[in-house]
């Protein structure tokens, strides 16, 4: 692992430290559905998360989730992942986090670390830019380094009392 990864991870945790969300928290499943675009299309499904959210001023959220992302590649690539997300602000929040995943095409695998930043609308819709960093030098070149993702945070529907 390189120095940039640890620096990014430290920055994410420093930003999370002042977040004091106390309301509407708990385990949620499923918690996320998203699409990502790098060199290839990805479909992201969050299976379970621990979510904390508050509507106090300023609105804040953070969550830790387990999920899986699949990529439309040849051969098919699947990536179980652990995600850390946070947001600070009002109705439109500044957000970010990091995804740690293990892409595999069932013949090879490597770790992939994706620090991400972006915006979130009331924690429901999240738009992120991420930079994929691979544990092995070649990694998965068919995925590339730059990623844009759009996520629907299903856990937020629980927070707002919308039936899921």
pLDDT at residue number 12: 47
- Could you state, in order of their start, the residue ranges of all structural domains in the chain? 3-159
Contact 54, 23 (CB under 8 A): yes
Residue with tokens 């947001």: 87
- Which residues are 109's β-sheet partners? 104
pTM for the structure as a whole: 0.78
Tell me what the pLDDT averaged over the chain comes to.
81
- Does 136 score more than 50 pLDDT? yes
In the chain, DSSP assigns E strands to 26-28, 32-37, 41-54, 59-71, 77-89, 92-101, 112-121, 125-131, 133-134, 146-153
- Does 135 score more than 90 pLDDT? yes
- Does 107 score more than 90 pLDDT? yes
Q: Which CATH number fits domain 3-159: 3.90.228.20, 2.40.160.20, 3.60.10.10, 3.40.30.10?
A: 2.40.160.20
Cα 115 to Cα 5: distance, rounded to the nearest angstrom: 8
- Residue (of 75, 59, 67) closest to 24 by Cα position: 59
Residue range 27-82, pLDDT digits in tens: 777 888 999 999 999 999 999 888 776 666 566 878 899 999 999 999 999 999 99
């Amino acid at each position: 692992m390189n120095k940039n990864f640890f620096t990014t991870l430290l920055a994410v945790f420093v930003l999370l430290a002042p977040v004091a969300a106390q309301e509407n928290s708990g385990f949620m499943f499923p918690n996320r559905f998203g699409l990502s675009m790098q060199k290839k299309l990805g479909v992201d499904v969050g299976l379970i998360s621990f979510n904390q959210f508050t509507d106090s001023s300023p609105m804040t959220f953070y969550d830790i989730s387990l999920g899986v992302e699949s990529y439309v590649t040849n051969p098919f690539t699947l990536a179980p992942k652990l995600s850390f997300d946070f947001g600070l602000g009002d109705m439109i929040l500044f957000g970010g986090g990091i995804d740690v995943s293990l892409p595999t095409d069932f013949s090879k695998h490597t770790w992939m670390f994706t620090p991400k930043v972006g915006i979130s609308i009331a924690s429901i819709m999240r738009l992120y830019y991420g930079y994929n960093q691979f544990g092995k030098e070649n990694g998965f070149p068919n995925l590339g380094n730059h990623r844009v993702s759009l996520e629907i945070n299903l856990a937020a529907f629980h927070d707002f009392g919308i039936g899921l």
